[in-house]
Structure 1
């Protein structure tokens, strides 16, 4: 049974879209709101939040205007997304006018029927999902946000375009709905994507803290301002001369340094805990050395007792550095670095490991066509318990406690793509549609993602 028919049965809507869908003019017997018990059956928090965001009225049963105009408006929703149909702003205005009236169910049914035939813009889908959530249909709202309506109704090339919404408003609403349905890992994953993109998004940090606490997740350690006084002395026992600090994180600090003997630059990473991080540092160095080859950072030297590791120096820096510099255009065309990055992940997975920390800061660029993965401190064999992760880049399944799985790296890859595409899109440098689809597929339901790096390579070609 299609989503349209399921919703029609729940809402008591019009006939299926094959005959002429009747538009209720407010005068007939069908103009009856669902029973209060049906409308109130909801997980409450998501519905209230959704209604507040959309400016829904606090009272119900405001009768629709009688006459043909309102009915004509509702009927036009069926053609949303076509050249002759209403524009995005008009669709949203019609939904707002229908909200809280006896026309509400009809409006939703017409719009969902349109979604089963074509892809509608994110703002329209968010508005429709918001209205479904306000009616207490969290599952229906999520299906609209996740693009399930078109995927179920259509097979072939059009179905591939039915992707989850990626706007901030859509992600926040999806997060609230996941939380309302008890799917906290997915809720946390969605809100972390929002925070990485827009740290000041209203309510996002509060949700993040609350859901992390509910999951029992450890709070990531904040870097100390005085860490440099802890790690700098170890440089005296190394063959390198520190030039400048280039990156700082919870585990350690990376410097640009110079090997005075060989006359070459290196990336000198010093762990905050020095000797206490011996096992972590040893694993990182050994794994990077074992995986040596295209797409993997080169290791030159390591001292586990003093807590440092010397890596190849890559002057261009990371994808994060490029984005922060405001030079996102340097990352176009996307295929030049995204495909080699997928091949690097395929090599890691073929060797039986998961990187477990794929994010823009860990993708270095020797040049645009040669991305290099660094920081193997969290890498684990396939199936081993995972540990830690960078907020915003951890898959919902891993947040829920799943052992190390290649699909976690695929999720991180999708997030890297998303961060880049959000900056490139306004520049109009190339057609980004295929990469947007791949990113959303990587971030979508676990069973729909490429299953490992090899499948990701095929999807990226």
Structure 2
């Protein structure tokens, strides 16, 4: 029995598309089917054997025609998104509620419905107490494997859908997934109503069992000239929890460099040493070059990449430069494959750490959180940490795959309004990367196969 069949069963035996009773033994009607979703213990009006209750379509005055049309939602001649949502609102809390949802569930078995429709359907299911069914709708649980269709339902990616999914995860006790969903909302829309409050509350609840890794938040200021280095600092270009990055000039070699200074200065010696050694060990395509470092003073000199990061491009309002997506997303997948093949996990894949030598040559920077596969993970950037890692799982390549999916999502959400072509396949891959572990590409090599 497929998930969708189980979902329809939970809606109530009589709530079948078309209003007919489900077939039972010998073709008889299912006894006492209750489309309202009430429990069996609740009183019902007695039925007269001489006057059985009709199980057919409700009359036009009762809105039966509108309810029946939900079965064709998403089809060319079916109702519009606005019409579907209006019908669901009218059916809410009435005897037609279960039938309306059953029609939509049947429609989802055949075609992919728009996010707003699925969110409205999931919200109605949640109100009926079927939280798992609501999540199934939001997660796109009807797959081609279940229904033999060429189409594949995708998890919702709208802000409203993610907030509802986060609430459902939290209600079911899946706090890491709830935090992951709400962080995706915050990265996209920091002012989304209730998002920050949810994030703080759930992080606190999760932290009661697993304390978050400490982060240094010191303010770092560096003078324009440093007597112990050959670099002349020109301007600050980035700042994060670990340190600040400056554009600088190597006065001896006459070249520009990226000068990263850690907030802890000498106190970060072990961290700086590990980061630069790992970056040097992984040197090659897709990894930023390290020129020099002083662990005692807490600085690293890196290659200067004038275009900056994917985050810089997005913040500058130049998202169109990132189309076509394949130009930079494919080599980025290959870079992750190299790192995973060496037995390491980057653990901080996000737009700010994807630098662009040119639009077809991305490089990963900041290996401060990188760990060998299977080692305990440490810290992470909110919005880009997989739910499994939030739950305490050791370092795993699937965490980088999740970060890759988030980078794609951040870019796609800005490219879609521009009408760029060829985004559908990348959106599907992004949502796969953000999905459950068993559906996510297991490592960079699998990611490369998915993008080629």
* Deviation for aligned residue 1:437: 0.5
More helix by share: 1
> Does 1:455 pair with 2:449?
no
Mapping for residues 122-133 of structure 1, pairs under 5 Å: 122-133=115-126
For 1:95, the equivalent position in structure 2 comes to 88
* Deviation for aligned residue 1:152: 5.4
> Does 1:210 pair with 2:213?
no
Q: Which runs of 5+ in 1 are unaligned?
A: 40-64
* Among 67, 72, 97, the residue aligned to 2:59: 67
* Deviation for aligned residue 1:162: 1.4
Greater RCO (Cα-Cα under 8 Å, separation 6 or more):
1
Higher CA-based Rg? 2
For 2:20, the equivalent position in structure 1 comes to 22
For 2:5, the equivalent position in structure 1 comes to 5
> Does 1:376 pair with 2:370?
no
SS of aligned partner of 1:227:
coil
Contact map agreement 1:23 1:75 (CA 8 A) in 2:
no
Judging changes above 3 Å, is the alpha-carbon distance between structure 1 residues 38 and 196 closer, same or farther for their aligned structure 2 residues? farther
For 1:57, the equivalent position in structure 2 comes to none
* Among 286, 302, 317, the residue aligned to 1:295: 286
Distance 1:204 1:22 in 2: 42
For 1:33, the equivalent position in structure 2 comes to 36
Q: Which runs of 5+ in 2 are unaligned?
A: 23-30, 43-56
Distance 1:379 1:37 in 2: 55
Distance 2:36 2:16 in 1: 19
How many residues matched?
Answer: 426
For 1:55, the equivalent position in structure 2 comes to none
For 2:434, the equivalent position in structure 1 comes to 443
Judging changes above 3 Å, is the alpha-carbon distance between structure 1 residues 356 and 239 closer, same or farther for their aligned structure 2 residues? same
Contact map agreement 1:23 1:71 (CA 8 A) in 2:
no
Distance 1:255 1:170 in 2: 39
Contact map agreement 2:292 2:301 (CA 8 A) in 1:
yes
TM-score, normalised on structure 1?
Answer: 0.88
Mapping for residues 412-427 of structure 1, pairs under 5 Å: 412-427=403-418
SS of aligned partner of 2:430:
helix
Distance 1:431 1:285 in 2: 38
CA shift digits 1:201-225 (9 cap, x unpaired) = 000000000111111143875845x
Judging changes above 3 Å, is the alpha-carbon distance between structure 1 residues 270 and 38 closer, same or farther for their aligned structure 2 residues? farther
Judging changes above 3 Å, is the alpha-carbon distance between structure 1 residues 126 and 152 closer, same or farther for their aligned structure 2 residues? farther
> Does 1:314 pair with 2:305?
yes
Judging changes above 3 Å, is the alpha-carbon distance between structure 1 residues 122 and 294 closer, same or farther for their aligned structure 2 residues? same
Contact map agreement 1:117 1:150 (CA 8 A) in 2:
no
Distance 1:307 1:431 in 2: 44
* Deviation for aligned residue 1:285: 0.4
Judging changes above 3 Å, is the alpha-carbon distance between structure 1 residues 32 and 329 closer, same or farther for their aligned structure 2 residues? closer
* Deviation for aligned residue 1:238: 1.1
Distance 1:114 1:124 in 2: 11
CA shift digits 1:403-453 (9 cap, x unpaired) = 000000000000000000011111112220010000000001111010000
Distance 2:206 2:225 in 1: 38
* Deviation for aligned residue 1:236: 2.8
Judging changes above 3 Å, is the alpha-carbon distance between structure 1 residues 142 and 197 closer, same or farther for their aligned structure 2 residues? same
> Does 1:431 pair with 2:422?
yes
TM-score, normalised on structure 2?
Answer: 0.90
Mapping for residues 124-273 of structure 1, pairs under 5 Å: 124-151=117-144, 153-155=146-148, 157-158=150-151, 161-216=152-207, 217-218=211-212, 221=215, 223-224=217-218, 226-228=219-221, 231-232=222-223, 235-273=226-264
Contact map agreement 1:13 1:106 (CA 8 A) in 2:
no
Judging changes above 3 Å, is the alpha-carbon distance between structure 1 residues 35 and 234 closer, same or farther for their aligned structure 2 residues? farther
CA shift digits 1:23-50 (9 cap, x unpaired) = 99xxx975663335899xxxxxxxxxxx
* Deviation for aligned residue 1:84: 1.2
> Does 1:338 pair with 2:329?
yes
Contact map agreement 1:119 1:150 (CA 8 A) in 2:
no
Contact map agreement 1:14 1:109 (CA 8 A) in 2:
no
